[in-house]
Structure 1
Amino acid sequence: MVQARLSRILPTLSFFLISGFLGAAAASAQEQEGWSICNETSMIAELATGRQVNNDVVIEGWNRVRPGECRIVLQAPLRTGTPYFLYGRTSRAHRGGQQSWTGDYEFCVDGQGTFSVESPPDCAAMGLETRSFQAITIEDRTSWTTTLRETARWPQSNAQAAGIQRLLGDAGVESGSIDGYIGRRTRAAIRTFLSEQNLPSDATDEELIDYLEQIAIERSRNLGFTICNRTEERIWAAIGRRRGEGWESRGWWALASDTCERVIDQDLISASHFVYAEMDTEEGRKVLTGGVDRFCISHSQFAILGRETCEANFYEEAGFIETDVPEDGLLIYEFFDRDFEYVETEDEDQ
């Protein structure tokens, strides 16, 4: 049941591959030869790449690419006819949870810092995490460009402005529309921000993005709901909470062993929240035990309003565990191996 969700949990960012250079979109990448990644999204992208070396695949990361920026991730000469691999994630600065560009090929990464590994067979045994990479076909030995886009598209030059707009909201400086055009009010908010932070008034847009990212990351540590996987397996987690006068359940978040995910990125109300999780192991399926508060869940990604009549609405029902009350708008919940027990499958019941 858990593994079936993997193909259904789609990132909100669309992934596109564009061959060769595309006018101004890749102009900054033309200064050097190699494999370039151009980021036309409004989010900071962190990239890991893979290349075949003899009989192994070497995975390296992380390459940080600002909105509107192109970056060489691998120098020429490139190989044609041999696939390269790419995994991308968004910066922790962005609200709404970390999003990713994924594919069908699983390799090991170090989620915490710079790394280079030769695809070990057991990621967890090496203290690494498993991530799903996209295969990239390169058809030119000299230069090749992969472009990242999201559903809302804008030219490369406007992506930088859209990124600044998004980060201003992430950092709590100014909330507004994200359209790739910065007006007078936003420029005034930027000047005020730089002055209050004792930063240079003549900071470039690239420097502004870097400043805002750090403020947003620091801000995110002090609010919201974070869940952590302290088990030795990957888990799939869901949450329940009050929404207005009613209830909401939402899932799934895939958490590798010993990783955390911020599932709500705003101040929390002073009331208990609820959690549920499942895991697949070689011996079978495990579920979180001890939950007595019933919420609706679905096999695929879901956001369900209400917690009554789950089956009548073609949902399943699961027992969620009540958390502590958040303190100062912040809540952290950790899952441990002892919290899970095996459940019998239908085949085992027969």
Structure 2
Amino acid sequence: MRIIFLSLLVFVVSAGGASAKYSFCNKSSYALSASIGYVDGDRLATRGWWRLRPGQCKVVLTEQAKPGRYFVYAEAIPGHKGPLRTWSGDTALCVENTGFFNLRNQDVCRDDPLRQRKFFNVEVTEAAGGAWQTDFTEASTYTVYSAEVAGVQRLLTDIGDDAGNIDGAMGRETQRALANFRRKKGLSDGYTIDDDIIDALIEEANAREAKLGFFYCNKTNNPVWSAIAEPLDDADYRAKGWWKLEPGDCSKILKGALDKDHYYVYGLIEDPTAERTLTGGNKSFCVNTIMFTSETDLSCGDQELDEAKFRRFEIGGVESATFDFLPEMFAEPAPAAPNP
């Protein structure tokens, strides 16, 4: 699931007084979830998620945008095909993974990388007059209207309908696919684009994606830190981790329909008495103590990483698979040495 950083544009909107605010504008072909970080008194706060339809602009902070540094992050909805697209940077800040959140304590995710996102920096200037807008864009330059059309084209493609090229132009193929989808949903005839049709497309794309992918489930009584290695070709693999799974939790590790017949899995039980690793490992991959991605075309030493034995998991030709971490799969703690 390679994270892609797409081009972004940040610019000032001339405004002042009562209209001062911070806005996001989605000029991409993706439906987005966006978040902002800012200084709130003596703390650094984060707030999100705002759903941004393609072509939609939204006020996210109604108070005056003060000169100084803000932090912004956005990611595409899971229903879009392909690797996760993000608009990101280098500053790790805390978020909640679902629902709207407003966090004023950045320590809450210090030990949980799944609740961290890499925000990019935005410098608001005095010349802004208290109002600032951040645009999320792609290599293709879209207006607000053409981004909306391109977003509908992408969503139709995500659910398996042929809408032609994703180019922001309302051609005949797009009109035909959109009219068919409207009829399927019992909406009025034609190919009108409105919020209801975009929301219905987002809902269907997310529902389709929810059934696909590779999942981990923790069926032990302790937290499990997990990693995975996926085949790239006949000889090479990419390993990555860590995902923390609380007892009883399940998490999607790879999105989209699976197209390999096997994967390699790895886990560590968080046990205060000793480190307990997943047994049955038969192939070595490179790992690190923090979040990592490594490939087998370089040695672990060249990547300054450690080595661990991963366990092969056959899935056949299915598009979705789940690996359950069970208590008996982990090595028992070594007995304590007797006191002399």
Task: Provide the residue aligned with 1:28 in structure 2.
Answer: none
Q: TM-score, normalised by structure 1?
A: 0.72
Task: Provide the residue aligned with 1:111 in structure 2.
Answer: 97
Task: Provide the residue aligned with 1:11 in structure 2.
Answer: 3
Contact 1:94 1:170 in 2 (8 A): yes
Contact 2:9 2:137 in 1 (8 A): no
Compute the displacement of 1:147 (Å): 1.3
Contact 1:240 1:275 in 2 (8 A): no
Q: 1:178 aligns with which of 154, 159, 166?
A: 166
Contact 2:279 2:330 in 1 (8 A): yes
Task: Provide the residue aligned with 2:86 in structure 1.
Answer: 100
Contact 1:239 1:276 in 2 (8 A): no
Q: 2:37 aligns with which of 26, 50, 54?
A: 50
In structure 1, the gaps of 5 or more residues are 1-8, 23-30, 280-284, 342-350
Q: Structure 1: which amino acid aligns with 2:281?
A: G
Say how many residue pairs are matched. Answer: 315
1: CA distance, partners of 2:286 / 2:111? 35
Match status 1:76 vs 2:56: no
Compute the displacement of 1:212 (Å): 0.8
2: CA distance, partners of 1:12 / 1:84? 21
CA deviations over 1:290-319 (Å, ceiling 9, x no partner): 321467999985677xxxx976xx899864
1: CA distance, partners of 2:117 / 2:329? 25
Any idea what SS the aligned residue of 1:76 has?
A: coil
Structure 1 residues 303 and 172, CA, compared in 2 at 3 Å: closer, same or farther? farther
Task: Provide the residue aligned with 1:263 in structure 2.
Answer: 254
User: If you compute each CA radius of gyration, which structure gives the higher value, 1 or 2?
Assistant: 2
Match status 1:156 vs 2:144: yes
Task: Provide the residue aligned with 1:138 in structure 2.
Answer: 124
Task: Provide the residue aligned with 1:195 in structure 2.
Answer: 183
Q: Structure 2: which amino acid aligns with 1:182?
A: M
Q: 1:292 aligns with which of 266, 282, 292?
A: 282
Contact 1:224 1:330 in 2 (8 A): yes
Structure 1 residues 177 and 68, CA, compared in 2 at 3 Å: closer, same or farther? same
Contact 1:191 1:201 in 2 (8 A): yes
Q: Structure 2: which amino acid aligns with 1:265?
A: G
2: CA distance, partners of 1:176 / 1:303? 35
Match status 1:221 vs 2:213: no
Structure 1 residues 310 and 110, CA, compared in 2 at 3 Å: closer, same or farther? closer
Contact 2:10 2:133 in 1 (8 A): yes
Q: Which moved more, 1:292-301 or 1:62-71?
A: 292-301
Structure 1 residues 106 and 201, CA, compared in 2 at 3 Å: closer, same or farther? same
Structure 1 residues 266 and 32, CA, compared in 2 at 3 Å: closer, same or farther? farther
Compute the displacement of 1:201 (Å): 3.3
Compute the displacement of 1:277 (Å): 6.9
Structure 1 residues 174 and 288, CA, compared in 2 at 3 Å: closer, same or farther? farther
Q: Structure 2: which amino acid aligns with 1:18?
A: V
1: CA distance, partners of 2:198 / 2:64? 32
2: CA distance, partners of 1:337 / 1:90? 35
Compute the displacement of 1:71 (Å): 1.2
Q: Structure 1: which amino acid aligns with 2:140?
A: A
Compute the displacement of 1:266 (Å): 2.0
Contact 2:52 2:58 in 1 (8 A): yes
1: CA distance, partners of 2:200 / 2:144? 21
Task: Provide the residue aligned with 1:3 in structure 2.
Answer: none
Q: Aligned-pair RMSD on alpha carbons?
A: 4.3
Compute the displacement of 1:102 (Å): 2.4
1: CA distance, partners of 2:187 / 2:295? 41
Contact 1:124 1:257 in 2 (8 A): no
Contact 1:12 1:151 in 2 (8 A): no
Structure 1 residues 323 and 187, CA, compared in 2 at 3 Å: closer, same or farther? same
Q: Which moved more, 1:229-238 or 1:170-179?
A: 229-238
Compute the displacement of 1:118 (Å): 0.9
Compute the displacement of 1:164 (Å): 1.1
Contact 1:228 1:255 in 2 (8 A): no
Q: TM-score, normalised by structure 2?
A: 0.74
CA deviations over 1:47-106 (Å, ceiling 9, x no partner): 11122122112221111111122111111322113x222222211111124332223333
Task: Provide the residue aligned with 1:208 in structure 2.
Answer: 197
Q: Percent identity?
A: 26
Any idea what SS the aligned residue of 1:323 has?
A: strand
Q: Structure 2: which amino acid aligns with 1:292?
A: N
